Amino acid sequence: MAAAHDQGELGFDPGELWAVLGRRFWWLAIPSALGLLISGVLALVWPAEYESAAIVMVQPQDIPAHLVLPTVGTDTEAAFNSIRLRILARDRLSQIIDDLKLYPEMTEDKEPREAIIRHMRTFISIDPLPPAVVDPRKPVQIESFRIAFRDRNATTARDVASRLTQDFRAVNLDQRAGQAEGTSEFILAELQRARQEQERVGIELSEYKEQHRGELPEDMPINQQRLARLTSEIGQQQAVYKTSVGQVDRLKVELDELRATGSDSSFDPARRKQAAELELRQHRALGKTEKHPDVLITRKEIAQLEVMIAEAADDDTRPASYQENSLVRELRTHEVRVGVMQSEVARIRKEINMYEDRIIVTPRRGAEIGHLEAQYVSLTQAIWELQSKRVAADMGRAIELAQKGEKFQVVEAAVIPEEPISPNRPLFVLVGVAVGLLGGLSLLAARELADESFHTVRDLQGTLGLPVLGTIPSIDVVEGGSRNGNGVRRWIGTGLVVLALGGGALYAGAAGLDSEPVAASEESRV
């Protein structure tokens, strides 16, 4: 029984907590009251901020895409970021400040316009909303977004949010129309450039064919046929040439032998000329041209006979015999034939070389022509594709100008907010009370731990290490005969009630401020 009694004395006693609270009541009450007071005052004097927001949905193109393809990119995220930057640009926000007469106090204080714009940007929020369905196989597309503005005046918040929404839609339409117009102009410029390039390549191709006529791939069969014919012809002419050279050599030998043995005076150049002229007429009658070897030989012989006749007129000497003159005439005839055949062989050889050169360069000409023709065909295909794209671009531009393309549709318009978004006055009070209580408890615990006096049996026994034989309870009597413990309890209860009532009043007052009608802000603004 004695051991149990000692354990009870040394164990935890809830009454000790009441005793500590009684001794250190003001260490808890004062910080709690200060926390309540400070938070309540802040909740009452902190200016309210109202937020007005609009919800905008990205509406697809009105006309089905399988009928008319859009000419403006469908990357909604990139378009959203681009428009957002333009909306938050300095010039546009400055225009909104001037139109709605925002921040008059900052303007009166001569704040730099850049500082006012930076201040305004902190109260603007333009954020995309999460899509209803997310497909991981496709890139994320923005389906809707929220445009909001915060201000101490509810009407101002609504007006600025509405203006930002209106500007957002207008910028989107202008941007899409500009992109469509730019696309159409770009395609038209590319089409004109392609047509000019095609015309240049066509002229270059025609000039190249004209410059290298006879060396083109289509001329190859004709060149080969002519080369074969000339090869055969030169063989025949060379055979005739060799025969004529042999005849000349033979006649020279016979003439030398005849002159050595004697001569005949029966040759007459004038008669031979008449015979040659008769032969020339016979050649013409047979249809031989002036370039025919027989015609050329006969004319050559006539020219030589005329020279002989002229020489005979100046000199009375005559050939010794008719046989000698016949050999001379035949020799000269064959000599003329040899000269003609030699010229003809040289001409044919020259033509053969020409056709051989043509055949050799034909593959290179074909490659160069093929390159030019490939360029021409490529440009033709490009022109056809550009013409198709131009039609599509013109249709896309018409759709954008008619506002039938992808656009932003306001789902929820900005309205005057009924309650402020900040501050949360009841939360201010609750946080202030909680902080005050925690601070008071911390101070109470610190003061109690720093106190070295003995208040309980446990303190005494723990310090001295000796058993306590007995204790004398406190029997202090206050007015009315009540004990000191009852007075402590009354103090604690009274303090808690006061704190509760004060906290409730401040909480209700803060909540009442948040529920004030927005018309008050309208009147204050006026």
Residue 227 falls within a domain, yes or no? yes
Mean pLDDT, all residues of the chain: 75
Segment 25-36 mean pLDDT = 76
* Winning range, highest mean pLDDT, from 41-55, 62-76, 316-330: 41-55
pLDDT in tens, 360-377: 998 998 899 899 889 999
Owning domain of residue 293:
219-378
> What percent of the chain is predicted at pLDDT more than 90?
8
The answer on 435 and 328 residing in a single domain is: no
The answer on 167 and 305 residing in a single domain is: no
The answer on 57 and 148 residing in a single domain is: yes
Predicted confidence band at 311 (pLDDT cuts at 50, 70, 90)? low
- Among left, alpha and beta (phi > 0; psi -120 to 50; other), residue 51 is beta
Please provide residue 125's backbone torsions phi and psi, each rounded to the nearest 5 degrees: -135, 125
The answer on 257 and 332 residing in a single domain is: yes
Give the residue, 15 or 278, on which the prediction is more confident.
278
Cβ pair 259, 325 in contact under 8 A: no
The answer on 352 and 284 residing in a single domain is: yes
Segment 272-301 mean pLDDT = 80
The answer on 173 and 291 residing in a single domain is: no
pLDDT in tens, 57-103: 877 665 555 455 555 556 677 778 888 888 888 888 989 888 888 88
Segment 30-36 mean pLDDT = 78
Residues whose CB falls within 8 Å of the CB of residue 289, separated by 6 or more in sequence, listed in order: 295
CA–CA separation, 300 and 286 (whole Å): 19
The answer on 245 and 374 residing in a single domain is: yes
pLDDT of residue 279: 83
pLDDT of residue 441: 75
Q: What is the CATH number of the domain that holds 66?
A: 3.30.1890
Asked if the model's pLDDT at residue 503 lies above 60, the reply is no
Residue 62 falls within a domain, yes or no? yes
CA–CA separation, 389 and 2 (whole Å): 106
Q: What letters, b where the CB count within 10 A reaches 16 and e where it falls short, cover 127-140?
A: ebeeeeeeeeeeee
The answer on 351 and 373 residing in a single domain is: yes
The answer on 448 and 310 residing in a single domain is: no
Predicted confidence band at 197 (pLDDT cuts at 50, 70, 90)? very high
The answer on 328 and 272 residing in a single domain is: yes
The answer on 37 and 87 residing in a single domain is: no
pLDDT in tens, 273-282: 778 888 888 8
Cβ pair 406, 176 in contact under 8 A: yes
pLDDT of residue 8: 43
pLDDT of residue 223: 87
The sign one gets for the Cα dihedral 32, 33, 34, 38 is: positive
Residue 299 falls within a domain, yes or no? yes
pLDDT of residue 10: 45
DSSP 409: E
Give the residue, 56 or 175, on which the prediction is more confident.
56
The answer on 439 and 364 residing in a single domain is: no
The tally of domains found in the chain comes to: 3
Give the residue, 151 or 488, on which the prediction is more confident.
151
Asked if the model's pLDDT at residue 444 lies above 50, the reply is yes
Predicted confidence band at 149 (pLDDT cuts at 50, 70, 90)? very high
Residue 240 falls within a domain, yes or no? yes
Q: Could you tell me the pTM of the whole model?
A: 0.51
* Winning range, highest mean pLDDT, from 25-34, 347-356, 450-459: 347-356
Q: Which long-range contacts (CB under 8 A, 24 or more apart) does 213-220 make?
A: 214/358, 215/358, 215/361, 215/362, 215/365, 216/362, 216/365, 216/366, 216/369, 217/362, 217/365, 217/366, 217/369, 219/358, 219/362, 220/359, 220/362
Predicted confidence band at 199 (pLDDT cuts at 50, 70, 90)? very high
Segment 176-189 mean pLDDT = 80
DSSP H helical ranges for 402-483:
425-450, 457-464
Tokens of 435: 């902080």
Give the residue, 82 or 318, on which the prediction is more confident.
82
Segment 320-346 mean pLDDT = 77
